[in-house]
Amino acid sequence: MEKNKQLVMKVLKDMGYEPELDSDQDIRLCMEMKEFYFFMPDEEEECYVNIVLPQFTGIKEGKEILALATCNIMTRDMKLLKVYVEKNHESVSASCDFIYTDEDSLKQNIVCSMEVMSIVKTLYRRKCAELEN
């Protein structure tokens, strides 16, 4: 396992989580009825992490433009978070990307990213309701 992936696994375990590797050897973490995925580049020297919360909500038929507008506004206004409509236009996902310098930096970035992504569904629904009115 790559050095960066090992460090992410270690930090998550130190934080009290139980991460596992999925069939693609990506890190998967189940927390509060959500599945997060952690992706790292193959290059050992790049300390970059992409955390994804896939398909956290569906898009009702006829609401695709509202979903796109909501995602655009959220991504623009929340610098850490990217919210986007999946290619099939049936669901919305979110991700956080960051570069870390050491183990403490990695932990701090994971904590911040997980906090934001834990409430993204609520923020998304509020923004949708605001745009509809």
Output the pLDDT for position 41: 81
Output the pLDDT for position 1: 53
What are the tens digits of pLDDT across the range 74-121? 999 998 899 999 999 999 999 999 999 999 999 999 999 999 999 999
Instruction: Report, in this order, helix, strand and coil percent for the chain, each rounded to 5.
Output: 40, 30, 30
Contact 12, 19 (CB under 8 A): yes
What are the tens digits of pLDDT across the range 4-43? 899 999 999 999 999 999 999 999 999 888 999 999 987 6
What are the tens digits of pLDDT across the range 60-74? 999 999 999 999 999
Output the pLDDT for position 44: 66
Q: Which domains are delineated in the chain?
A: 3-132 (3.30.1460.10)
Beta-bridged to residue 63, according to DSSP, are none
